A = this chain, B = another copy of it.
Amino acid sequence: MNDRIYAAFEQQQKDRGINLFEVKEKMKALKIETPSWGYGDSGTRFKVFQQEGVPRNPFEKMEDAAVVHKLTGVCPTVAIHIPWDQVDDYSKLKAHAEELGIAIGAVNPNLFQDDDYKFGSITNASSAIRKKATAHLLECIDIARQTGSKELSLWLADGTNYPGQADIRKRKHWMYECLADMYTALDDDMRLLIEYKFFEPAFYHTDLADWGMAYNLAQKLGPQAEVLVDTGHHAQGVNIEHIVAYLLDERRLGGFHFNSRKYADDDLIVGAHNPYELFLIFYQILDALQDSDQHVRKTAENIAYMLDQCHNLEPKIPAMIRSVMNVQTYYAKALLINYDEVKKAQEKGDVLACEAAVREAFEIDVRPLLYAVREEMNVPAEPLEAYQESGYGEKILARGKGGASW
């Protein structure tokens, strides 16, 4: 990009009444957590195509994540998944991350890959299995303490495949009881992010199937429990930004698992399908940041933005960088909405003007802004190109095939 283009962009935003300085500050403040498992091999039930150079252990995952952070400047933390990232000494993993300039973020328990969980984990009819599952949750809190993590991200795969397979109401109670035990064990500065999912791997009923169930559970558990929205976990057509606005208003939106999908939970690169939806989610969030209620504002400020994707076909690190850039792109566009203009049009009941005021920002090419922000942050203007030139991709080929996977 040359200066001429940026100057034109700057003028354009000035004319629109946008404070570019503020926009840039907000861009710099945006942090996106990458998931350790996104660096490993993944696939569908039909096939996992292994890639060369995939990290072989949690330490190497941290190294890859550090590269993403180095090149983007906005990914200072990495979510871990236990036991995929189980290590003997978490202080070592923490130190390793810190040496690399990053930190460990949310801790994700795994309640779906133990043979005992075939018929449920914290919803299992067996109290022994529920206890085992709860113990794992408590272990994750302990790991969080060791890694300095403040978020516990809970995705519950529990559910059934056939009508009658289990007692839905009893499972609901068991789930609450186990999570109440977990909640009690949280440190005061920790929060529990509760994720819901429409279906898969359960094909008849999923115990935590929608935002309403996650929200209600959070309400019962207490103020440290919040809802985590995975953008791929909804029925077709569901208005996700409406749910986001709703949860913000109720002060229960804790975070996101970003990804995109066209069909089910496809876990594709965020923004790759229907990017307008991502923009509209940020529109609701940025609107809430201007709410008259400070609690709503605070909720919006504390949202944990996390990626949760599977790069089945594409190389992992570049895919992660692309994802981060996509989030930045649509966040930037939402920042360029002239909120006063929207509100004025809303007050007049001018539907077309309302819609135009929101969409106009979507049409703006924000690359000049992103370049400027990156320059100010001392990171490459084109992180993907910088990665290609870095030689890191070639270097890790020495790891060979058969690295970490689910």
Residues of A within 8 A of B (CB): 2, 4-5, 7-8, 11-12, 42-47, 49-50, 112-113, 115, 118-119, 125, 157, 161-169, 172-173, 198-201, 203-206, 209-213, 215-216, 234-239, 241-242, 245-246, 248-250, 261-264, 266, 268-269, 272-277, 280, 283-284, 287-288, 291, 296, 312-315, 318-319, 322, 329, 342-343, 345-347, 349, 351-352, 354-359, 362-367, 384, 406
**Which residues does chain B contribute within 8 Å of A275, judged by CB atoms?**
276, 359, 362
A-B contacts besides A209-B239, A210-B210, A363-B367, 6 pairs, CB < 8 Å = A43-B201, A125-B347, A162-B355, A168-B245, A198-B237, A314-B352
B347 contacts A283, C-beta separation under 8 Å: no
A46-B363 contact, Cβ under 8 Å, with A168-B242, A235-B235, A277-B274: no
Question: Would you give the shortest CB distance from A347 to chain B, in whole angstroms?
Answer: 7
Listed A/B pairs (18) with beta-carbon separation below 8 Å:
A4-B4, A46-B406, A47-B113, A161-B314, A161-B351, A163-B358, A164-B346, A164-B355, A165-B313, A165-B354, A168-B242, A200-B263, A203-B261, A209-B242, A235-B236, A235-B238, A272-B355, A275-B276
Cα separation A166 to B47 with both chains bound (whole Å): 20
B276 contacts A263, C-beta separation under 8 Å: no
A263-B262 contact, Cβ under 8 Å, with A46-B406, A113-B46, A346-B166: no
Cα separation A169 to B283 with both chains bound (whole Å): 12
**Which residues does chain B contribute within 8 Å of A262, judged by CB atoms?**
199, 203-204, 237, 239
A313-B363 contact, Cβ under 8 Å, with A236-B237, A245-B168: no
A356 contacts B165, C-beta separation under 8 Å: no
Question: Would you give the shortest CB distance from A121 to chain B, in whole angstroms?
Answer: 12
Tally of this chain's copies: 4
Cα separation A319 to B246 with both chains bound (whole Å): 29
A44-B200 contact, Cβ under 8 Å, with A125-B347, A163-B283, A211-B212: yes
Cα separation A392 to B211 with both chains bound (whole Å): 45
B314 contacts A351, C-beta separation under 8 Å: yes
Among candidates B49, B119, B343, residue contacting A118 with C-beta atoms closer than 8 Å: B49
Among candidates B46, B167, B209, B241, residue contacting A343 with C-beta atoms closer than 8 Å: B167
B112 contacts A329, C-beta separation under 8 Å: no
